[in-house]
Structure formats: structure tokens, C-alpha cells
């Protein structure tokens, strides 16, 4: 999995200017959350993903599309 920038405690020192510049490049218009990542992990760990192999799933709000 390839998550985008998720503002969690370890990123508390990232300056607001950097956060805002990153956010300006995210098409969905918001930062990701730990829940966004957890939903993908939950799917990949489920029987529903039993036929998914060798994939890189990008969870970045569309940022890597542009």
C-alpha cells in the first residue's frame, strides 16, 4: 500500500505552510486520516480480497493522478 501524507502525531512538527502546500495538490480537497488507511488494510485482510495479489494500492486522495 502507498499512503499519502496522513497528519498524525509523528508529523506534529510539519510546518503549516508545508501542510497547506500538500493539501493544495490533493484533488479530494482534504488530508487523509488513519481511518482511510485502516479501511484499505481491513479490506486487504478480508476474504473479499482473497484474489488480490501483488498490487500497490495508492491511498492519497488522487494526488498521484496529476
Rounded to two decimals, the pTM is 0.85
Spatial separation of the C-alpha atoms in residues 21 and 34, rounded to whole Å: 20
How many domains, the chain? 1
In contact, 61 and 30? CB cutoff 8 Å: yes
Predicted local confidence at residue 51, as pLDDT: 97
What is the pLDDT averaged over residues 20-32? Answer: 96
Predicted local confidence at residue 7, as pLDDT: 92
pLDDT at 66 over 80: no
Percent of the chain with pLDDT over 70: 100
What is the pLDDT averaged over residues 14-33? Answer: 96
Q: Which domain holds residue 33?
A: 2-65
Amino acid at each position: 500500500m502507498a499512503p499519502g501524507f496522513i497528519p498524525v502525531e509523528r508529523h506534529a512538527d510539519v510546518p503549516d505552510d508545508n501542510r497547506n502546500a500538500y493539501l493544495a495538490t490533493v484533488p479530494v480537497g482534504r488530508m487523509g486520516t488513519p481511518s482511510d488507511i485502516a479501511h484499505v488494510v481491513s479490506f486487504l485482510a478480508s476474504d473479499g480480497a482473497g484474489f488480490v495479489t501483488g498490487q500497490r494500492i495508492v491511498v492519497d486522495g488522487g494526488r498521484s493522478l496529476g
